[in-house]
């Protein structure tokens, strides 16, 4: 898999890797994930308690989402990047309200914050990439601009005889 080719791609890759890792943790060691989020882990569960089932489904969804984000990064699927900004802000709102309503422990707000900050980071990166594209030569992309700038800088350093 190649590295992201834009600022927005980097935000998506980071989120994708963390979603994948958290999903794997939830599948392999669900108690650790519950503790990390501030939930109690009782010694035994009552009949009809389907916490484990829900956690497995949630962890699998997180794992799959990580794969989707990484696939979007690998293909520089910018419309998907834009789509996620809105829905991550919705997720931030729902998770925050869940904590404020006392349904989830306070530590669960870190999940809401992660979603909100991730959405803002991706939105800002999309804007930066769009500005780069607007000032670029026709036929270039944010990714080729970064590569071109790096090559020019490298060439300028070499022609001056300076070494890094």
**25-78 pLDDT tens trace:** 999 999 898 888 888 888 888 888 888 888 899 999 999 999 999 999 999 999
Q: Tell the residue number behind the tokens 């890792």, with chain if given.
A: 21
**What is d(CA 69, CA 16) in angstroms, rounded to the nearest whole number?**
5
**78-137 pLDDT tens trace:** 999 999 999 999 999 999 999 999 999 999 999 999 999 999 999 999 999 999 988 877
Domain coordinates of the chain in residue numbers? 7-40+52-159
**What is d(CA 108, CA 36) in angstroms, rounded to the nearest whole number?**
9
Q: Tell the residue number behind the tokens 């949630």, with chain if given.
A: 58
Tell me the whole-structure pTM to 2 decimals: 0.76
**What is d(CA 42, CA 94) in angstroms, rounded to the nearest whole number?**
26
**What is d(CA 104, CA 34) in angstroms, rounded to the nearest whole number?**
11
**What is d(CA 161, CA 26) in angstroms, rounded to the nearest whole number?**
53
**What is d(CA 61, CA 117) in angstroms, rounded to the nearest whole number?**
20
């Amino acid at each position: 898999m190649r590295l992201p080719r834009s600022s927005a791609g980097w935000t998506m890759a980071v989120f994708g890797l963390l979603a994948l890792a958290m999903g794997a943790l939830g599948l392999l060691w669900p108690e650790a994930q519950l503790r990390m989020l501030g939930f109690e882990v009782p010694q035994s569960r009552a009949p009809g308690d389907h916490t484990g089932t829900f956690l497995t489904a949630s962890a699998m969804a997180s794992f799959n989402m990580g794969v989707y984000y990484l696939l979007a990064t690998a293909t520089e699927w910018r419309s998907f990047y834009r789509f996620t900004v809105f829905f991550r802000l919705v997720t931030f709102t729902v998770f925050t309200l869940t904590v404020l309503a006392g349904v989830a422990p306070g530590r669960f707000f870190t999940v809401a914050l992660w979603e909100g900050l991730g959405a803002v980071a991706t939105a800002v990166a999309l804007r930066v990439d769009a500005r780069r594209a607007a000032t670029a030569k026709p036929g270039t992309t944010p990714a080729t601009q970064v590569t071109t700038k790096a090559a020019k800088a490298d060439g300028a350093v070499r022609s001056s005889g300076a070494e890094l």
